[in-house]
Amino acid sequence: MDDVEESTQQTRRRGRRAGGEDTKAALLAAARETFIERGYEGATVRSIASRAGVDAAMVNHWFGGKEGLFAKAVLQVPVDPNTLVERLLDGPREQVGERIVRNFLAIWDATGGGHFAALMRSVTSHERVASVLREFFVQHLLHRVLTGIGADQPELRATLAATQIFGMGMVRYVVRFEPLAGTDVETMVKAVAPNLQRYLTGKID
- Give dist(CA 53, CA 23) in Å, integer: 8
Helices (H), the chain: 2-14, 21-42, 45-52, 57-63, 66-70, 81-89, 96-109, 114-125, 127-134, 143-148, 154-169, 185-201
Contact between 28 and 72 under an 8 Å Cβ cutoff? The reply is: yes
Phi/psi for 189 (5° steps) reads -60, -50
Closest separation in Å from C-beta 71 to a second copy: 17
* 89 lies in the site for a second copy, by CB under 8 A: no
* 174 lies in the site for a second copy, by CB under 8 A: yes
Q: Choose one: 29-37, 90-98, 105-113, 133-141; the region binding a second copy (CB under 8 A).
A: 133-141
- Give dist(CA 181, CA 175) in Å, integer: 9
Sign of CA dihedral 92, 95, 100, 101: negative
DSSP category for residue 203:
-
Of 143, 146, 124, the C-alpha closest to 135 is 143
Closest separation in Å from C-beta 62 to a second copy: 28
* 110 lies in the site for a second copy, by CB under 8 A: no
Instruction: Give the distance, in angstroms, between the CA of residue 23 and the centroid of all CA atoms in the same chain.
Output: 22
Closest separation in Å from C-beta 170 to a second copy: 5
* 85 lies in the site for a second copy, by CB under 8 A: no
- x/- site string to a second copy, residues 15 to 54, per CB under 8 A? ----------------------------------------
Tell me whether residue 9 or residue 197 sits nearer to a second copy (CB atom).
197
Of 91, 94, 67, 84, the C-alpha closest to 151 is 94
* 192 lies in the site for a second copy, by CB under 8 A: yes
Tell me whether residue 11 or residue 147 sits nearer to a second copy (CB atom).
147
Closest separation in Å from C-beta 141 to a second copy: 12
* 121 lies in the site for a second copy, by CB under 8 A: yes
* 128 lies in the site for a second copy, by CB under 8 A: no
Q: Tell me which residues touch a second copy (CB under 8 A).
A: 117, 120-121, 123-125, 130, 133-134, 137-138, 155-156, 158-160, 162-168, 170-172, 174-181, 183, 187, 190-192, 194-195, 198-199, 204-205
